[in-house]
Amino acid sequence: MLVDPVTGVATNMDSRKREFDGILRRFITLRDRVCRHPYCAAAIRHADHITPYRDGGDTSIDNGQGLCESGNYAKDIPGWHTQRGDRPGETIVTTPTPTGHRYATLPPHQTGMPGTSTKI
C-alpha cells in the first residue's frame, strides 16, 4: 500500500496484479457502495477496471470501480466505452452509449450522501 507521506492518506496499492482482490477490492467496495454504472444503485458484485487492463489500464484505486453484474458486462458491449475522469482525487466514469449520450458518475460522498450520475 502506498501512503502520502504528508497527509497519511492511502493513495494506491500494488498495480502489477490484474484482479481487484483482497484489501483493494474491499477499498473499492467501501468507496463506491453501489454500482457505478450510470443511474444504477444495485449491489456491487464485480470490481473492475475503468480503463481496461487490456488497453493498458492499471489495477489501482483510481482505475477501479464497483459494478453490478449487468453494469460490468454492459461496458464491454460494442459501442460502449468507459474512461477515467480528470479530477484529482476523484474517480469519474464517463460512459458514452451507442446512442451518443454521455454520462458521468461520481462515487458517493463519504459523509453518506448518495453518488451522482449526470448526462454530459
> Computed over its alpha carbons, how large is the radius of gyration of the chain?
14
> Mean pLDDT for the chain?
80
Cα(23)–Cα(56) distance, rounded to whole angstroms? 22
Q: Give 15's pLDDT tier (boundaries 50, 70, 90).
A: low
Q: Decide: 103 and 71 in contact? Cβ < 8 Å.
A: no
Mean pLDDT of 104-108: 81
| pLDDT at residue number 67 | 94
Write out the three cell numbers for 94: 464517463
| pLDDT at residue number 12 | 60
Q: Identify the residue whose cell numbers are 496484479.
A: 17
Q: For residue 60, what is the DSSP state?
A: S
